[in-house]
Amino acid sequence: MKKYLIGLTFSLFTTIAFAQEKNKRIAFEVDGICEMCKLRIEKAAIGVKGVKYAVWDIPSHKLSLIIDERKTNPMIIKTAIVAVGHDTKELKATEEAYLKVHPCCRYRDSTVVKDMH
């Protein structure tokens, strides 16, 4: 019985493994403000191997991606995005990376954000 269960679990895992899509649509939030942020975020995302398409929407802060799941996953992309100074929900950019963005892109600073809107 136990063996049977293990087998079942394994087969479940393998199906998950096989369900990795070549053109998977994913989206998550990335903090940012302006056109300049958009370019920086999209460039960082598209620079990740396996990311085919990246569009960041300024008002909703939503980054829409099409990725090859066999080559990348959302965590790798988020790592690349925080590396250029933009926060995601799970990963936050280091202070060092954050300070590298242009002063008018400082999305953590509420006065900057207010100025933009």
Partner 1 sequence: MKYFRNITCLIVLFSQLLQGQENVTGTVFARDDTQESIPLQGANVYWMNSQIGTMSQEDGSFSIPFDKEYSSLIISYIGFRTDTLKITKPKNLIHFLTPSNELDEVEVIKKRDALQKTFLSSQNIVNINSDELLKAACCNLSESFETNPAIDVNFSDALTGTKQIQMLGLTSPYLLITQENIPMVRGASQVYGLTYTPGTWIESIQITKGAGSVINGYESISGQINSELVKPFTDPALFVNGYANRNGRLEFNTHLNMKVTDSWSTGLYLHGNKRDTKVDDNNDGFLDVPLGDQINILNRWQYQDTEKGWVSFINFRYLRDDKQVGQTIFDPDTDRFTSNAWGSEIDTRRFDTSIKIGYVFPSLPFQSMGFQVAFSDHQQDSYFGLNRYDIDHESAYMNLIFNSIIGNTQHKFKTGLNASYDGYIENVNQQLFNRIDRSVGSFFEYNFDNLETLSLTAGVRVDLHNLLGTFVTPRFHLRYSPWENSSFRMSAGRGKRAANIFAENQQLFATARQIQLLNTDGKVYGLNPEDAWNYGVSLLQGFTIGNRNGNISADFYRTSFREQVVVDWENPLEITFSNLDGDSFANSFQLELNYELLRNLEARTAYKFYEVKTQYQTGLLQKPLQPRHRFFANLGYVSTPKADGSQWRFDYTLHTIGSQRLPSTETSPQEFQLAAFSDSYSLMNTQITKVFSKQWEVYVGLENITNFTQEAPIVSAGDPFGAYFDTSIVFAPIMGRMYYAGFRFTLL
Helix 74-83 to helix 35-46 angle (10° resolution) is 130
108 touches partner 1 (CB under 8 A): yes
Beta bridge partners of 62: 29, 57
* Residue 51 contacts partner 1 per CB under 8 A: yes
Select the span of 12-20, 53-61, 75-83, 98-106 touching partner 1 (CB under 8 A): 53-61
For 34, 41, 43, the CA distances from 74, given in Å and listed in that order, are 23, 14, 15
Q: By CB under 8 A, is residue 112 in contact with partner 1? A: no
Element (H, E) at 79: helix 74-83
For residues 8 and 89, which CB has a smaller minimum distance to partner 1 in the complex? 89
Positions in the binding site for partner 1 (CB under 8 A): 23, 25, 29, 31, 39, 42-43, 46, 49, 51-54, 59-61, 66, 87, 108, 110, 117
